[in-house]
Amino acid sequence: MALRVYNTLSGKKEEFQPLVPGKVGMYVCGVTVYDYCHIGHARANIVFDIVYRYLQYSNYDVTYVRNYTDVDDKIIARANERGISSQELSEEFIRAFDEDMAALGLRKPTHEPKATAHIAQIIALVEQLIHKGMAYEAAGDVYYSVDKFPSYLKLSKRNMEEMQAGARIASGELKRNPMDFALWKTAKPDEPSWESPWGAGRPGWHIECSAMSSSLLGSTFDIHGGGRDLIFPHHENEIAQSEGASGKPFVKYWLHNGFVNINQEKMSKSLGNFFTIRDILKSYDPEVVRFFNLTAHYRSPIDFSDQNLEESRLGLTRFYEALAQLEIALSRSDADAEQGSVPESLAEPVERLAQLEERFRTAMDDDFNTAQAIGHMFDAVRAINRILAEESNLHGQLQGILGKGRDDLLRLGEVLGLFGSDPAAWLTRSAHEGLADAGLREAEIAALIAERRDARANRDFARSDQIRDDLAAKGIQLLDSAEGTTWKMK
């Protein structure tokens, strides 16, 4: 089955056919670097990280471009507040962005261009638009003339008359049409600026993406992504600029991810429910954050709440516990054990395990349906646990089946950026999180476990159970097994 993607431009799912067979050019709008990234940025970047990974998994040669917009009104304003240069500010937050994305386990794009490193291309593009009559200069500013681009608003499917009714021209702007937008802004005092045919100035928002994408991917490429909120005006304007200049279709498939809500409310600074990635990673494992993002479809809104994150933590724990048990069973099993056939009772889980990859692909081929893909992976976990529950001593054939199951799970998990940690280590780390809140130290727990072990050996179950209940009251769950007793936070 072939990959199908939902294209915002057509409003429906389409079969994905790259311009050049086997190769994909993909551009995703990065961030304007003037502050720390919030969890909405995390979602967008995780979503397109998955797109990138899945295309690579599907054997495409992908060129992934994600830009930094490092010249902008907000950067200038923030830099002035702090009394530093725009460049210092943007460099600081580019570093922060890189750290955040690395923490979230994102694969590095092929190219991460900066707007300020493409001023020459931007100026050339603006000149071209003026030359073609699509743009005009006015007092050092250059504006795009939306009236010259008949298919303007084709992406956002809005109505020009009504948009115009609501639009206003800010004082000092010399627009012919209120919907016209700036390609180049004349420099005000104390602003970063570059020399141009229209005097010193700087690029407007939107033009940098047109310039960088065409520089790195050509005038037509396959996928352009970003958050829904970028559809208008940002992406609409990119289309107008790029197609206006080249006369060729800009992008074949437009992909947009849904929003992040906080406790069912829109995330916004005014509501005070704004979380940076750094804030969240203080409380939650990055892999939990990623897992949470992938349990819903990328186009749907997701609700960021403690309860939902907690559920994701439990879900991810289920995977790691199964993987940890699998490691133990596989290491313990005897390679020389006599070959045995798979018992009839395990035919179904064995079959389910065998189908994992095919099901995963079918789900992901359907517009990157990670929620369904994870559902299939949970099925595989149950199949693994079932086999382990029934056959603690793996014979040759089952060993091979489970070994392949483990490999499949890890390989497909990697396509989603999951299960990359050593299972035992992840579980230990997870167990220790929150330990301080419980007011306990590991050594104390270990001592109590030892005391309980002795009590149990003496069949003093009253004492044994008391220890367990006391710890349970503090949120510590003891887990007895043949290998001894471990613990975790409930």
Partner RNA sequence: GGCUCCGUCGCCAAGUGGUAAGGCAGAGGUCUGCAAAAUCUCCAUCCCCGGUUCGAAUCCGGGCGGAGCCUCCA
Q: Which of residues 127-146 bind RNA (CB under 7 A)?
A: none
Query: How many other β-carbons are positioned within 10 Å of the β-carbon of residue 381?
Result: 22
Among 94, 328, 354, 371, binds RNA (CB under 7 A): 371
Residue 179, exposed/middle/buried by CB under 10 A (0-12, 13-18, 19+)? buried
Among 356, 374, 431, 476, binds RNA (CB under 7 A): 374
User: Least distance from C-beta 58 to RNA, angstroms?
Assistant: 18
User: Least distance from C-beta 65 to RNA, angstroms?
Assistant: 15
* Spatial CA neighbour of 384 closest among 410, 417, 416: 410
R_g (Cα) of the chain, nearest Å: 28
Among 124, 296, 337, 489, binds RNA (CB under 7 A): 296
# residues near RNA by CB under 7 A? 78
Residue 59, exposed/middle/buried by CB under 10 A (0-12, 13-18, 19+)? exposed
Q: Does 300 engage in binding with RNA (CB under 7 A)?
A: yes
Is the Cβ of residue 4 or residue 23 nearer to RNA in the bound state?
4
Q: Per the structure block, which two tokens stand in for 471? A: 């710890």
Q: Does 451 engage in binding with RNA (CB under 7 A)?
A: no
User: Least distance from C-beta 363 to RNA, angstroms?
Assistant: 7
Q: Does 107 engage in binding with RNA (CB under 7 A)?
A: no
Angle between helices 370-390 and 347-354 (to 10 degrees): 140
Is the Cβ of residue 62 or residue 277 nearer to RNA in the bound state?
277
Is the Cβ of residue 127 or residue 427 nearer to RNA in the bound state?
427
Q: Does 102 engage in binding with RNA (CB under 7 A)?
A: no
State which of positions 21-60 bind RNA (CB under 7 A): 29, 31-32, 38, 40-41, 43-44
Q: Does 358 engage in binding with RNA (CB under 7 A)?
A: no
User: Least distance from C-beta 21 to RNA, angstroms?
Assistant: 26
Binding mask 159-198 for RNA (x = CB under 7 A): x--xx--xx-------------------------------
User: Least distance from C-beta 234 to RNA, angstroms?
Assistant: 5
Segment near RNA (CB under 7 A), from 278-286, 329-337, 392-400, 478-486? 478-486
Among 98, 112, 303, 414, binds RNA (CB under 7 A): 303
Among 75, 76, 230, 277, binds RNA (CB under 7 A): 230
Type of residue found at 46: I
State which of positions 196-215 bind RNA (CB under 7 A): 205
Among 1, 2, 11, 336, binds RNA (CB under 7 A): 11
Contact by Cβ (8 Å): 392, 329: yes
User: Least distance from C-beta 207 to RNA, angstroms?
Assistant: 12
Q: Does 267 engage in binding with RNA (CB under 7 A)?
A: yes
State which of positions 390-449 bind RNA (CB under 7 A): none
- DSSP letters, 308-355, are HHHHHHHHHHHHHHHHHHHHHHHHHS-TTSPP-PPPGGGHHHHHHHHT
Type of residue found at 262: I
Burial 442-468 (b: 16+ CB within 10 A, else e): eeebeebbeebeebbeeeeeeebeebb
CA 365 to chain centroid, in Å, comes to: 18
Q: Per the structure block, which two tokens stand in for 407? A: 């490999």
Q: Does 311 engage in binding with RNA (CB under 7 A)?
A: yes
- DSSP letters, 33-100, are SSS--BHHHHHHHHHHHHHHHHHHHTT-EEEEEEEEE--SHHHHHHHHHHTS-HHHHHHHHHHHHHHH
Q: Does 470 engage in binding with RNA (CB under 7 A)?
A: no
Q: Does 260 engage in binding with RNA (CB under 7 A)?
A: yes
Q: Per the structure block, which two tokens stand in for 255? A: 């992909």
